[in-house]
Amino acid sequence: MRTGRTGTAAALAGALALVAFASPAAEAADTGITVSHLVVNNGRPVIVGTTAEVTPDFTFHKYWSSNTALGDVETTPFLYHDTTAAKGAEDGGIWTSSVTCYEDGTHAADCDGELYIEPRYRLDSNNDATTWKIAVSARIWGSNGQPKSSEYLTGFGTVQVKRAARVTANATPEPVAKGKKMTVTGKVTRADWVKHAYVGFGGKSAKLQFRKAGSSTYTTVKIVKADSAGNLRTTVTASADGTWRWTFGETSTTGGATSTGDYVDVK
C-alpha cells in the first residue's frame, strides 16, 4: 500500500509498539530513498497493558531521487526482533497504522504518523517485553501499481517495549490514635500478555511514602519487598494526619507505578 501522498494518512495492517529514538540517516541504495531524524514517542519507553490499544506517534524526514513523485515513494517504519529486518517483516513485526508526508518542493518530505499495538492479538508472549530493533520498509511504486524497487532500511537503533504495572495501597486502622501502630498493605501487579490479565509481581521492591496533611511533598518512609504473590505489608507509627502510598520505578521489562494515596486521620 502506498504511503507517500502529501497530507494523506494511509492505514497499514499490523500492530506495533515502540519507544522514541533519534537515528542517523540510512541510505537506500536500491530505491534511492534516504530516511533521517526518525523519532518515536518522544524518547519514552512504550508501556503496554492487557487490553488498551497503544498508538505512539513518530516523525521523520526523507529524500528521494528527482525523477520520482512523492505519491510513488513509500516509507513505513516497523519493529522486529528477529535476526534480520526481512525475517521480522515476514513474521509480522510491529507496524505503523498510518503515515502522512508533506513535500517541501525539493524531492524531500517531512512525515508523521502513528504506530499501533493491540496487546490481545500482537503480543502473545511476555518475552516480547524486550529490546526491539527499528527498520523502515522502503518502496518505489511504478505506474502499473507494482513496486519498481524495494528494500529494508536498518540502523535506526532499538526500542524497549514494556509490560504495564499497577500497585494499590490501604492503611489501617482509620482513624488511628497518635503514637499507635498502623498497617499499610498493597499489591504489585503487572500485565501478563499470555493470560491477558494483571498478575502478581512477586519480589518487586516498592517505596512506602507519606505526605503530611497540608504538604505537597511525599517522603519515603521505607522500602518493602513484595512476597511471591506481589503482596506488600508493613507497620508504621502514626504521628500525623496524612496520605500513604506505594511507588516504584521501571525495570528493563516492566513500567513503573504509583498507587492512589490513602488518607489517614490521626486522633
Domain extent listing, the chain: 26-162, 165-264
Q: Does the pLDDT value for residue 9 go beyond 90?
A: no
Distant-in-sequence, close-in-space partners of 264: CB < 8 Å, separation ≥ 6: 171, 174, 175, 176, 182, 238, 241, 242, 243, 244
Q: Find, among 68, 194, 71, the residue nearest to 129 by Cα.
A: 194
Contact 204, 229 (CB under 8 A): no
Q: Does the pLDDT value for residue 121 go beyond 60?
A: yes
Question: Rounded to whole angstroms, what are the CA distances from 164 to 152, 168, 250?
Answer: 31, 14, 9
Region 88-112 average pLDDT: 90
Which H/E stretch holds residue 90? helix 85-90
Q: Tabulate helix, strand, coil % of the chain (nearest 5).
A: 5, 50, 45
| Residue 196 burial class via C-beta count within 10 angstroms: exposed 0-12, middle 13-18, buried 19 and up | middle
Report the distance separating Cα 190 and Cα 254, nearest Å: 7
Which H/E stretch holds residue 89? helix 85-90
Report the distance separating Cα 138 and Cα 151, nearest Å: 5
pLDDT band for position 14 (cuts 50, 70, 90): very low
Strand pairing category for 262-264 and 242-248: antiparallel
Pick the more confident residue, 17 or 160: 160
For residue 146 the three cell numbers come to 507494482
Q: Find, among 167, 196, 161, the residue nearest to 48 by Cα.
A: 161
E-only strand ranges, the chain: 26-27, 34-40, 46-48, 57-63, 73-80, 94-103, 108-115, 131-141, 147-153, 158-163, 165-167, 170-172, 181-192, 197-200, 205-212, 219-225, 231-237, 242-248, 257-258, 262-264
| Assigned CATH class of 26-162 | mainly beta
Region 198-217 average pLDDT: 98
> pTM of the predicted model, to two decimals?
0.86
Q: Which residue(s) pair with 192 in the sheet?
A: 197
Ramachandran bin of 17, using left for φ above 0, alpha for ψ from -120 to 50, beta for the remaining angles: beta
Report the distance separating Cα 124 and Cα 43, nearest Å: 25
Q: What is the mean pLDDT of the chain?
A: 88
- Report the CATH number of the 165-264 domain: 2.60.40.730
pLDDT band for position 158 (cuts 50, 70, 90): confident
Domains 26-162 and 165-264 share a fold: yes
Residues 56, 62, 68, 69: is their CA dihedral positive or negative? Answer: positive
* Cβ neighbours of 244 (radius 10 Å): 22
Percent pLDDT > 90 in the chain is 69
